[in-house]
Structure 1
Amino acid sequence: MRRGQSELQNSTSRRTFNWKWVRFIPAVIWMTVIFISSSRSGGELNSWLPWVQQWIPGLSSFDPMHYVSYFILGLAVAYGLGRLSGTWPGALLTVAICTLYGVTDEWHQSYVPMRTPDALDLQHDAIGAAAASLIFLVVLKHRRSRNYTIS
């Protein structure tokens, strides 16, 4: 009888699916958006700038977009990490993941015509991710102090 029960438990545990990885889908989607955007040549980006300036007056280059893009990526990665994002190690992990992705993005740009890798862009990426991570950390800590449930 015990053997049958253990076989049933093993077959049941094989059928259960861990859905936690699904929380990273927004981060993967946003990484894809960043990758596609950084695949554009410098000439293509300059042709988009006047259109973007209609929505964001005073924008003279796409440098501030690094903050915004990696802020969004930081929020998405923090969401993917779940409860861990509400701790300092989780916040640092979020920044590390985003910064590492920024490194790969800058490397990728070295192969795109009229684009070059730039350490200042990487710094902007890290600052955007750190801001998002810090906000996520503060919000989760505040929610925990109020005894809200966090998934």
Structure 2
Amino acid sequence: MRPFYALLALLWMGVLWWLSERPFPGAGLPHPWDKLAHFLAYALLGALWRRGLGRFLPAFLLAALYGVVDEWHQSLVPGREAFGLDLVADFLGAYVGARGAGRWEAPEASRP
């Protein structure tokens, strides 16, 4: 485990929570750019968890489950809504980020 990256992931989760708490009735990014923003935000989260935990599955699951929690949280904020397509973008981003971040690591057999 790399605590620095895990801390960055937790901080990024806090930023995402704060952004979800902002009431933007009728504002925000237009479709399809909003889905790209979701994808990129969760790709970063997945990558940070992968670097912090060192394994794909836990990193992906943490990022994807946080997407579920964050969409639920957003549905409770006045002026905000939760969309299934946002969740799909969150999951895809988490997958790509967690999978892609593993490409920067040396294979386990060659680690000291």
TM class by shorter chain equals 0.7 to 0.9
Whether contact under 8 Å (2:38, 2:86) holds in the other structure is yes
Q: Secondary structure at the match of 2:79?
A: coil
Q: Secondary structure at the match of 1:63?
A: helix
Percentage of pairs with the same residue: 29
Partner of 2:35: 63
TM-score (norm 2): 0.83
* Larger Rg computed on CA atoms: 1
The size of the alignment, in residue pairs, is 112
Give the CA deviation at 1:41: 1.4
Partner of 1:134: 99
Partner of 2:70: 105
Q: 1:95 aligns with which of 60, 81, 84?
A: 60
Show structure 1 runs of 5+ residues with no match: 1-18, 50-57
Q: 1:27 aligns with which of 9, 33, 37?
A: 9
* Equivalent position amino acid for 2:11 in 1: I
**Can you list the C-alpha shifts for 1:90-123, whole angstroms capped at 9, x where unaligned?**
2121111011101110110111122112221111
Partner of 1:39: 21
Task: Mark the CA change 1:22 to 1:139 in structure 2 (over 3 Å): closer, same or farther.
Answer: closer
Partner of 1:144: 107
Task: Mark the CA change 1:36 to 1:95 in structure 2 (over 3 Å): closer, same or farther.
Answer: same
* Equivalent position amino acid for 1:39 in 2: E
* Equivalent position amino acid for 1:99 in 2: A
Show structure 2 runs of 5+ residues with no match: none
* Equivalent position amino acid for 1:75 in 2: A
Once residues 113 and 69 of structure 1 are traced to their aligned partners in structure 2, the CA distance between those partners, rounded to angstroms, is 22
Higher helix share goes to which structure? Answer: 1
Aligned-residue RMSD, C-alpha? 2.7
